[in-house]
Amino acid sequence: MSHFNGRGTITVKVLLTLLCSIIEFSESKLVLENKTCGELECSNHEYCSKMDHSCRPCQLACDPQLNNYDQNLCEAQCQGKPHVF
């Protein structure tokens, strides 16, 4: 049985909320960072094609129904998400 007073319970809740916010922010930052591609900068919805150093939509690499599907590329440059809107 726990012997927290009201103040200890609030502190635990605040710490848990803060921890969740930090984790959420760090995960979102992974997706929001742009990628350098030669002289271009690809958006968070694009990956850098090594063939011609151009930015291409993540959907091309991340959609298993398309011919250009590449799971490794999708996970590395698009965080495993096709970013279909």
59-71 burial, b at 16+ Cβ within 10 Å, e below that, comes to bbbbeeeeeeebe
Which residues partner with 36 through β-bridges?
A: 41
Q: What is the pTM of this model?
A: 0.55
pLDDT in tens, 11-58: 767 666 665 556 554 444 444 467 789 899 999 889 999 899 999 999
The CB-based long-range contact list for 64-73 (8 Å cut-off, 24+ gap) reads 73/47
DSSP, res 64: T
